Structure 1
Amino acid sequence: MSAGDRRKQAVTSHDVARAAGVSRASVSRAFAADGNISPKLRSHVLQVAQDIGYSVNQIARGLNRQRSDLVGIIASRLDNPHRSAQVEALTKGVVAQGLRPLLFCIERNEPVDRILGLLLDYQVSGVIITSGSPDETIVERCAAHEVPLILVDRPNTDWERVDHVTGDNVAGGRMVAQALQEKGRSHIVVVRPRRITHAMSERVDSLVTTCGEFDIAVETILMDGSDYDAALQCVSHWLTTQNAPVRDGSTALFVPNDISALGALDALRVTGLAVPQDIGLMGYDDIAQAAWVGASLSTVRQDPETIAAEVLTLLARRIETPDGPPTTIRIPVTLKLRSTH
């Protein structure tokens, strides 16, 4: 590190005040979003600070105020395009609100309590969990620190100070069943993970219930995972070692997330089945790859940006009114019928 770098790191707010010819209080107000200072003076102080290499230690500032501008986001499975799009929308939304995202990526089903402890040490203004099902102890810790907690696509609870946002999976499962019934499918094969998430379970249960109303037979096969490879192997094995479906268009597959549905699609094609003439297929999420020409996957869309906007609205409301009643929001979903169903 050069001497110039060391000098730049050592610059303090006192140095800025002296160089700008103002008080240290004016420097503090210039860097505060709601600071009581004229635009002209703020611009002058910020320019001087930039010229001499000063930046605010936001974590230290948060500790001094008992609350930082940080918002913790705990997520997993960012290899799933829907989850990564959701996290991207959340982080951009946090920044747009003048806050700073602090993202922790964890393994699926990894306990979130250790990560939560780190977030609470940073005096975060809120926590958003898109992965794992936090137990009541974690919720109590957030409540004790008066930290808002928003759960995304998690089972609903009656915990105080905890809000929930999820896509309308029940409506989505019903939409899939109706779309396949209208195409004349009389046999639905559900391809689902052995360890199924709450959201996917809601979709499958709703589809099964609706198929019962339509007198459509439902079969379930299990895959060891919830990604492309798991579905490719599962469907390939089903087609080659079990009773292959009759090639009369009566059967369709439902895979409750798109990345797995794309694996199922390739398995069907490799085996020689024409989609949708011999067999239909529908996914769920409407990831970007679903619309690619090579896939043209029929699916159900849940919009990551809409979900993120509702999460951030609840977070802002919870920060403003910590003791307000718990809120659950179900985001409407829409059918995206392309070429595979």
Structure 2
Amino acid sequence: MRRSSGPDAEALTMLEVRELSVADRHGGPIVEALSFSLPPAGSLAIVGESGSGKTQAALSLLGLQDPALRVGGSVRFDGVELLGAPASRLRALRGARIGFVFQDPSTSLNPYLSVGLQIAETIEVHRGLTREGALAEARRLLEAVRIGDAARRLAQYPHELSGGMRQRVMIAIALAGRPQLLIADEPTTALDVTVQQQLIGLLAELRRTFSLALLLITHDLGLVAELCERTLVLYAGQMMEEGRTSALPSAATHPYTRALLRARPHLDDDPDSPLRTIPGALPARGESRRSCVFAPRCAHAQAPCRTTPPALTPARDGRRRCHLGIAEIGVSEARGQ
């Protein structure tokens, strides 16, 4: 991933996140020293188990986190610092240059307003169209996200739509301001496999049509493979590994990434066999972090892993946080650990 190192390089980076930290009111870490960048029209996935800090990291980029949480570090969009920025500046960005698809459309959409009015509101606020013009544009957006009979759907309310259609409405709202960056937080959660696949195809098509940069938050590695060029693996608020998505299945170098890949079900699995899991659980928020946070669940952990936090170091075309060399992990796996 290109890093900003001067005026020319700066222009290649749309979103630059440096040492982002999110903590609760007692200082318990939720996200720790997270750094990444995203170029215009680029794509990055942040993956990990539920509770790993993915959503809180995404929300904090735009000041949408719980006000009781403490956020530090730097978030720059087109060179402008967002952390600590006035509320008026953030409101001007949200929905306009940066669109956000929230995780649960059933709670994110207003049940008392029609679908058309909810899309039109963003268009009126950020693009200055009249109500009539905004509703006409809302209809075009519903057609763009493949909702049939768009004119009729404009007058309907969220409860009249299926889960997949509500998610498409959320995407239409996120696109209404013509953003450059789309942040999608678990966009296929609770949808059946067929609808998930339709949404994956839709997001890929929208990226090409609108030249969107995409920041995808997900636990679904299959979704990542189809949508994102790079993947960042998050565990207990810490980056474990980051690199090219296409290389992950064959060249993942971190034990946690490999465990996630092994836990994915496969078509040739015995349907009667239990699903593979990662033993143990994420550390509690206030738990000591004077060792590798993944060590208690890692089949390859050695003495240094339990006494010293590993640093983030370069690895192949990305970065990883692990004391062990790739060869050591391979030997452990060969022995069946």
TM-score of the two chains, using structure 2 as the length reference: 0.30
Higher-RCO chain (CA-CA 8 Å, sequence separation at least 6): 2
- Select the structure that is richer in helix: 1
TM-score using structure 1 length: 0.30
